[in-house]
Chains A and B, each alone.
Chain A
Amino acid sequence: MRTIFHLDLDAFFVSVERILDPSLKGKPVIVGGDPKYGRGVVAACSYEARVYGLHSAMPIRTAYKLCPHGIYIHGSHGEYSRFSKAVKNILLQYAPIVQQASIDEFYMDFTGCRNVYGSLFAFASFLQKEIWERLSLPCSIGIGSNKTIAKIGSDCMKPNGITYILSGMEKEFLAPMPVEAIPGVGKVTLQDFHSKGIYRIGDITKLPQDYFAAAYGKYGIDIYRKACGEGNEYLIVDNYEQKSISHERTFADVTSKQFLKEKLFKLTGKVCQELRDMDWLASNVHIKLRYSDFNTLTRSRMIKPTDDDKAVFDVAWNMLVKALTRRVAVRLIGVGLSKFSKFSEQQELFEWEEIKRRRMLRAVTKIRDKFGYESLMFGSVDHDKRSLTMVNPFRVKT
């Protein structure tokens, strides 16, 4: 039996913004862009803003309608990763193994540490206090026998909560929760569940597992196991701070290649922007393709280190076209970058055209950091008139 902690920093981006500007305390704060410019989404919002029904991933426009008196800020991403690293450094002092799952989430394996740290509940509260005192960041902790249950645990007593799910009690603990509490159940799956009358996690476990396997394939088995309180017990660790940057989108089944091309174009733009924000170059591009029957495949290719949208898109689209061999609708596509190296300004290594493009991309990154990702978009020149939506209204004619 293992003991896994999941530590989730409460409204992390907002907490950091409040360190930078304490006058934001106690106010509804939304990180993710200015509703006047952006069509972006809420990256994080304070608990004061959640009272108005705001939540992360909600379009900024919707958020603004619900909470017009909120304080909308773009966010200081460099600062978030600094604090995230600082949290990790603190955790590494106590936990034998730490896996960073995202910028504000960490798994720790404390199996066999009871003799060292005594009561795990008291120890979790000590960790909370330590992070609060050192960094002024609030967090919630879930303790369970596997990663999934620990994550669901940390989520259910936010903010500043600690939830300890005793081994053997997982199924009972989960049963009354809504199905969307299971990590990996997104909007599309949720609609599907609702249409079948599945609302609570208990509704899933009442059904036979075979039914799930037949309806949702491997993915279904995975959800079913999670609903029963089972999950991955082992942490993934390696020496790299961040292994890859990727984005994916789930659709209600799509067959149009043109549509996929546009989506891939957008996803590529996002990953490249993140890459440039980190000042990195990537030398590996990978794609992910999931058919409507949940068959999933991935492809990857090495390239010359780059942070250029165009170079990445060309490779990614090429791989996607080759991978699209079945006549089955597509449910999800994703694109990612890995094998990073640091961007350096040794420009003499590059051709003049390349230097010009690099400068342009850096400028684009700066503008987006200031005015939001969607303030400046790349256009793809395509003969298909339907893709006119991709034309950039800000593009200057030359």
Chain B
Amino acid sequence: MLKYFIGTAGWSYKDWVPSFYPKQQTSKFDWLQFYSHYFNCVEVNSTYYAYLSPKIVEGWVKKVADSDEFIFHVKIHQDFTHKRKFDEQSIKAVRYNLDILGNAERLGGLLIQFPYSFPYNNSATQYIQELKDIFPNYKSFVEVRHSSWQNEKAFEFFKENDLTFCTIDQPQIGQAIPFKPIITNDRAYIRFHGRNVEAWKKSINSFGKEQSYDERSERYKYLYSPGELVEIEQKIKSIQSKVKELYVIMNNHPQGDAVANAFELIHLLEEKDKVEMPGTIIKAYPRLEELLVN
């Protein structure tokens, strides 16, 4: 039986107030707790920028206690994917936090996202294999963005190593990989980065520079239109019989677009007529009202 997990990349965004999180918040109000009431998974991105203290991770587990099925996907630190320079200490740190989630039965898997500048070749596959050996016991989702990975040999490599080939939707520039689900094991992991071509081009030029939150997230500012979502729905449904678990992560986070689109995809993919949503999101995105449970 296929299980859908639909959520967003991160939950802690100030600009989700008031489009998702209400403006009036009591001191006890917790964003993750609120988020986990509506969604059954989230992708953690802060782990890409820092090695988090285990206390923080233990805190998450407590906050989602009310949501039985809720899981976290953890994005691996950039030392492993972008800088590709790490030591025993960093491996331990990653493992420790993963195991906290794993022992609490809250771990989805490990997201290993490589940059566009990581094309397919022998040393690349060797490197991925190395990572798989370091983190053997976790479900691994590997995201590559260069279109040179779109070949049978690469898919074979993924299959042999039980790695999930992430499907991504991103602005179509240069040799960017197009949206096309590829199945390499019994899971599918689909990430949506928006289709903001202009801002994406701009960000390519400023890679590596110090950037503010607004600058960094501008390229993800994109609200998928109903027509685009229907198109996506039909493409995803065409692969659903081939997998057991299907993860959909919306990364077009600025201002809450990701949340709105995630609700719409719950409606479309899980074939729910009505979806439980907070009033805040309806106010920010009136077109969602149709899906609201009364």
Contact = CB atoms under 8 A, between A and B. Distances in A.
Interface stretch (A78-86, A252-260, A325-333): A78-86
A312 interface: no
A21 B225 contact: no
B152 interface: no
Interface in A1-33: 16, 19-23
A133 to B, nearest CB: 8
B230 A22 contact: no
Given A82-B231, A83-B230, A135-B230, A20 B225 contact: yes
A85 B231 contact: yes
A89 interface: yes
A86 B287 contact: no
Scoring B225, B230, B289 by chain A CB atoms within 10 A of each residue's CB, the highest score goes to B230
Given A86-B234, A89-B234, A78 B227 contact: yes
Given A79-B225, A79-B226, A19 B287 contact: yes
Interface in A133-156: 134-136
Contacts of A85: 231
Contacts of A89: 234
B259 to A, nearest CB: 18
B87 to A, nearest CB: 42
Contacts of A76: 225
A20 B234 contact: no
A78 B227 CA distance: 9
Nearest to B289: A22
B270 to A, nearest CB: 13
B286 to A, nearest CB: 6
Interface size class of B (residues with CB under 8 A): 10 to 19
Nearest to B228: A82
Nearest to B227: A82
A131 to B, nearest CB: 11
Contacts, number: 37
A22 B231 contact: no
Interface in A74-109: 76, 78-80, 82-83, 85-86, 89
Interface in B226-266: 226-228, 230-231, 234
B286 A21 contact: yes
A349 to B, nearest CB: 15
Contact of B287 (A22, A78, A80, A82): A22
A76 B286 CA distance: 18
A20 B288 CA distance: 10
Nearest to B237: A89
Contacts of B231: 82, 85-86
Nearest to A84: B227
Q: Would you list the 7 A-B pairs with minimal beta carbon distance, nearest first? A: A82-B227, A79-B227, A86-B230, A19-B226, A83-B227, A89-B234, A82-B231
Given A23-B286, A78-B227, 5 more contacts: A19-B287, A20-B225, A21-B286, A22-B289, A22-B290
29 contacts: A16-B226, A16-B227, A20-B225, A20-B226, A20-B287, A21-B286, A21-B287, A22-B286, A22-B287, A22-B289, A22-B290, A23-B286, A76-B225, A79-B225, A79-B226, A79-B227, A80-B227, A82-B227, A82-B230, A82-B231, A83-B226, A83-B227, A83-B230, A85-B231, A86-B230, A86-B231, A86-B234, A134-B230, A136-B290
Interface of B: 225-228, 230-231, 234, 286-287, 289-290
